[in-house]
Amino acid sequence: MRLFLIVILAIMATVMAAQAHAGTGKPLCAALEGRTLTWRGDKARIVSARPVAAASGLPAHCDVSGIMHERQGRFGQAYAIRFHMRLPEAWNSRMVFQGGGGSNGDIGDALGHVSSTGPVALAMGYAVISQDSGHDNATNSDPARNGALAFGFDPEARADYGHASLQASADAAKAVIRAAYGHGPRFSYFVGCSKGGQEGMAFARRYPDIFDGIIASAPGFALPRAAVAEAWDVQAFASLAGERGVVQVADLAKTFSAIDFDLIRGVVLDACDGDDGLKDGMVNDVVGCTDEKVLLRLDVKTCDGAKADACLTPAQVTVLRRVMSGARTARGQAIYSGWFWPASIHAPDWRMWKIGSADGQVPPLNVLLGAPALASVFTSPPTALGNPNAMLDYQLGFDFDRDTSKIYAVADPFTRSAWQDVGARSSNLKAFKARGGRLIVPHGESDPVFSLKDTLAWFDAVDTENGGHAADFVRVFPVPGMCHCGGGAATDRYDMFAALVDWVEHGKAPNAVVAKAGPATPWPDRSRPLCAYPQVARYVGGDVEKAESFKCT
């Protein structure tokens, strides 16, 4: 009897303790705090494991910070891969890897921003990881070597940024999950846009066994080439601003006015808006909106005499032709893809990248981000720059016949080229396909950073590689009018993640995903189906503001 009472009391104590910790994340954290986890010859140190109570729509979870691959790099820099995880108490046995952005160097919030319409992944019960890709913007910044881009001067840090930190972080995440929950995830997903899209592509190509499903939005899988294209665009717009050598960054904003961009948008819509069966301010048939259609009407808008609001100067039209055709060598060999004529060329999201804010106060992101990235990370050997005008001078002095080769070059101490480290544009996804992986690639038609034309050409190559059956495991969704990862006159609010999960876990391949327009667009709450390429959303009758009035054909 006494033994029975002791057992009962022990059980009650355990239950009471569990109830006391319920909704706090403490049990998970207790399994991790202070530990060094090891697996297959690698290891990670848990720096902190902090219980977080349920609040503000987020569940009780353990907030984990970890570090791995600590080392002393070049120029006295101390490098490491730092990762951030959130482990919910009510776990759904699934994991989400949250992709990075830009030059990374930020550990991320690990909430799992998987869609523009639904809750974050943590709120749905997913364990989430984000990571800094092997460098820290706060501690690894060096003003003598392009500030936060200084990691580009270190070969291992550049490789970590390009791909190497990805596998290490994903393996660490699964080790943490096993330690906390007693078993690994049943399904694993990756979601990212821009640089995060490049990371998704790198996982699919280099590390195909890690994820069941990947969303690689607006993928920067050809980042080094796209950075050269940024210099190409800067030179094109600078040709309108003055003689080379005397152009200032603020001058670029003056090359096209808001009225000019509205005029160009009107030309694009006049040429292509009705091709999907309805004139509604959107170009759904993106591929059908050819250069010939647009240029025919743009020529009509070219000024015969002095510049006026109703026309563009011949020099402006020449620059537009040059930009849209894409970066090329003197012999006409393509360096990077051309572009679709952007239906949202008038949007601040587009002009901010190409020529900067309308008031000239914010420099073009093509200069502010593109120049130091090209100089530090995407060419060998790297080049130290200075202030924005020095960045502009670097791009204006870039020789596309001579200097483009630097993205493919090796130079001591770099034994791999920037293209080898960072490039992730490959049509060979056989291993990812063989393991049953599924890949969704949304991409805005008006993206000013990475060309949708390049993404569609890549899909066509994948399709050829797979005998015309790429859609068995890859779907590309062009988003008409959307700029880089969002924005523009577009239905840019959608949930590709739900479609991916349905495909991975239930075998339902997505042919169309409903998207809505936001309040800042000309048509708030308008809905449209986003169609898997090469299908196009065509009007079949009914309410012109509703997705059900369109069919993907």
* Residues with catalytic roles: 194, 447, 484
Cα–Cα nearest to 202, from 174, 238, 239, 162: 162
Question: Is the four-CA dihedral 225, 227, 232, 236 of positive or negative sign?
Answer: positive
The runs of H, that is alpha helices, within 133-286 are 155-159, 165-181, 195-206, 223-238, 258-272
> From CA 19, how far away is CA 319, in angstroms rounded?
68
Question: What phi and psi values does residue 31 have, to the nearest 5 degrees?
Answer: -80, -10
CA distance from start to end of the chain: 76
Residue listed under structure tokens 């660490």: 172
Strand partners, 38: 43
Contact 450/484 with Cβ under 8 angstroms? yes
Residue 250 is encoded by which pair of tokens?
Answer: 């603020």
Distance CA 504, CA 460 (A): 22
Q: What is the largest CA-CA distance in the chain?
A: 106
Report the distance separating Cα 270 and Cα 306, nearest Å: 24
**What CA–CA distance (Å, rounded) separates 221 from 218?**
9
> Which residue in the block uniquely carries the two structure tokens 């010939």?
292
CB 264 within 8 A of CB 515: no
DSSP-based helix, strand, coil % in the chain, nearest 5: 40, 20, 45
- How many angstroms separate the CA atoms of 392 and 456, rounded? 31
Q: Are strands 537-539 and 550-552 parallel, antiparallel or unpaired?
A: antiparallel
Write the secondary structure of 332-371 as one string of H (helix), E (strand) and C (coil): CCECCCCCCCCCCCCCHHHHHHHCCCCCCCCCCHHHHCHH
User: Rg of the chain over CA atoms, in angstroms?
Assistant: 25
Assess contact for 309 and 259: CB atoms under 8 A: yes
Q: State how far the Cα of 205 lies from the Cα of 14, in Å rounded to an integer.
A: 47
Sign (positive/negative) of CA torsion 466, 469, 471, 472? negative
Query: What one-character DSSP code corresponds to residue 222?
Result: T
DSSP assignment letter at 306: S
Residues in the chain: 553
Question: Two tokens at 52?
Answer: 């977080």
3-state secondary structure of 550: strand
d(Cα 320, Cα 425) in Å, to the nearest integer? Answer: 27
From residue 328, alpha-carbon distances to 275, 369, 404 in Å are 30, 21, 10
